[in-house]
Structure 1
Amino acid sequence: MDRRDFALAVAALGASGAALAETAGSDGLGSVMPTRRLGKTGMQVTRYCPGGMHIEWMKDEADSQKAIELCIEHGVRFFDTAYGYGRGRSEELYGKYLTPKYREHVQIMSKTTGRNAESAREHLEGGLKRMKVDYIDLYLMHAVNTPEDGQARIAAGVLDELRKMKAEGKIKHIGFSGHRTPAAHNWLLEEGFPDAEAVLMPINVADPSYDSFILKTLPLLQKKDVGVLAMKTLGNGGLLGGTRGGVKGEALGTGRRVIPDVVSVREAHRFVLSLPVASMVSGSNDLQQLKFNLETAANFQPLDEATRNRLVEACAEHGKTGEMEFYKWDRMKPKRT
């Protein structure tokens, strides 16, 4: 794609996002952060969703509790978790501090990395018990890396099991997530998992410059009215120079960075929310980061076309190597250049 076509594609997606309808309101807990429609699920989800892995990563359990309460106070009503986040620890924290007080007001997304029907069922049933709930609003086949990975899981009965659990009322809606390549997402949407209702995928200012989910998959999701959830909004720290993700307390690293040299954290998040996504799923390493992210989401104003294009263009030279989005590499290790 040449530069002109690239700019037009990003502008078109951004225009759709800027026009995305939002609903403001309140509930028994107070004001609710504006919500957006999550595609064909019909769910109205708050535009910000705290990353469940990072809830478990807080300094201690007291801070995890404070993080949940902060989100509620700022009007967040959509929460992310998964069995893989601390082998159920994130779900346990929700079962202690979220669902006993707030279940009737919140929606929960969880996920399974199960490789067969039995493990997928085990993850779901265990999550229901750990979170002390009767159902989960959205459940995803998690971290599908390649079309072959998706094929193997489906052949082993994972998708059939998700459909059964939905029929049983233990799941309201089903979908999938993935970090590595749009090829996996597009195969699932077109062939392997055509009834997917929502998708969680990387969306950030560097993504359009390398194997782009924004350019290759987002239009297909819009066409099929599949709900779009954005993750890796800072490239899992890669936009700040990180070189590896998924390790609690690990230093960022010494890789290329665009934050804060080229773009600010606030601009990066505003870019994501200016695209046609229902919610930005973003993790915070501590309460200070969480407060900042909540304030950015609460006070969000969409970026205009010129600003969106400027940010993508400014990040393109760094982004075209893929190094800032290291999760797109095999085994999450960037190749040396």
Structure 2
Amino acid sequence: MLKRKIGRIDYQGSAVMFGAASLGDVTQEEADQSIKHALAHGVNHFDVAADYGNAELRLAPIISEIQNDIFLATKTGKRTKDEAKTEIYRSLERMKVDSVDLLQLHAVGTIEELDKCTAKGGALEALIEAKEEGVIREIGITGHGHQAPVTHLEALRRFPFATVLLPLNYYMYSLPEYRQAFDALMEEANKQETAVRVIKAVAKAPWIEGEERPYATWYKPFDRQEIIDACVHFVLSFPGIAGFASAGDIHLFPKIVDAVERYGSMSDEEAERILSSISGYTTIFGAPTSID
């Protein structure tokens, strides 16, 4: 398994993170099988959130026993200090651990949400306090949508976050405004040695109303191995990316791991040919155009 340093954090994490949103609505047996598959293939970077359904509970039986061997990250979506502090300790209890390696402010994709988190009495104060108490080791921030790069750049001006987590895929980076904002964020993140971790690498498009949904993801994912390979190649070839989260469905996870294990076997030109020729490839966040 390809490993990459997580910014200024002294840890070599697997290039693919186990995106534990996939465990939100599965049985414990299904969760255990998926986690064991990850561990067997060298995945040591696990990313969950308090609001991913039962995901923290599903991680607990195995993760609590091997915590010293992995990098464990979770998130709080609360916006006030008191609410966030309560949720942090609830996450620890649910996962049966005494601490986590990374606690992230979750879904901060606009300046408005950032203002809530960084205001006096906001959630950031809870994370700083929890770090001082030794129950979290590092503080990060995550965000969805087209404003995430701009928001996270401003976030790094306000606080030295150890990590940022935001969308990146071939289509989104083809949008000039998103590309410019993402590049600006990468430049600042490199200066601060902040780890840039990405999501939605294999997202194809929004689901169409009434369409059959064979996967648990809230968007339509790619599921052909060749296209997944190209998507993974794109994000892992991107300079400075510390890693990417797998899609939120346990059935897609083995294909994504397989693509990472074969990373380097596809050329940039081949990935470009595959991704540029996909009909219906678009953003899942509401941009008006698509690559046809």
TM-score exceeds 0.5: yes
Paired with 1:35 and 1:115, the residues of 2 have a C-alpha distance of 33
Q: Which residue of 2 aligns with 1:199?
A: 164
Cα displacement (A) at 1:133 = 1.0
Cα displacement (A) at 1:299 = 2.4
The answer to whether 1:228 aligns with 2:196 is yes
Q: Which residue of 1 aligns with 2:13?
A: 45
For 2:262, give the aligned amino acid.
Answer: N
Pick the aligned partner of 1:68 from 35, 39, 45.
Answer: 35
Cα displacement (A) at 1:283 = 2.1
The answer to whether 1:265 aligns with 2:228 is yes
Paired with 1:216 and 1:318, the residues of 2 have a C-alpha distance of 28
Q: Which residue of 2 aligns with 1:186?
A: 153
- Residue 59 of structure 2 contacts residue 95 of structure 2 at CA under 8 Å; is this kept in 1? yes
Cα displacement (A) at 1:286 = 3.3
- Residue 161 of structure 2 contacts residue 194 of structure 2 at CA under 8 Å; is this kept in 1? yes
After superposition, give the CA deviation of every residue in 1:143-171 in whole Å (9 maximum; x if it has no partner): 11211210122113211221111111111
Paired with 2:222 and 2:84, the residues of 1 have a C-alpha distance of 38
Paired with 1:90 and 1:252, the residues of 2 have a C-alpha distance of 14
Question: Is the partner of 2:244 in helix, strand or coil?
Answer: strand
The answer to whether 1:299 aligns with 2:262 is yes
Question: Is the partner of 2:85 in helix, strand or coil?
Answer: helix
- With the length of structure 1 as denominator, give the TM-score of the two structures: 0.74
Within a 5 Å distance, the mapping from 1:268-283 to structure 2 comes to 268-275=231-238, 276-283=240-247
- With the length of structure 2 as denominator, give the TM-score of the two structures: 0.84
Cα displacement (A) at 1:107 = 1.1
Paired with 1:152 and 1:308, the residues of 2 have a C-alpha distance of 40
CA change 1:77–1:318 in 2 (3 A) is same
CA change 1:280–1:161 in 2 (3 A) is same
CA change 1:302–1:208 in 2 (3 A) is farther
Pick the aligned partner of 1:325 from 264, 283, 287.
Answer: 283
The answer to whether 1:163 aligns with 2:122 is no
- Residue 215 of structure 2 contacts residue 249 of structure 2 at CA under 8 Å; is this kept in 1? no
Structure 1: unaligned runs, 5 residues or longer = 1-32
Question: Is the partner of 2:46 in helix, strand or coil?
Answer: strand
The answer to whether 1:217 aligns with 2:185 is yes
Question: Is the partner of 1:98 in helix, strand or coil?
Answer: helix
- Indicate the structure with greater helix content: 1
Pick the aligned partner of 1:133 from 90, 97, 101.
Answer: 97
Cα displacement (A) at 1:312 = 6.5
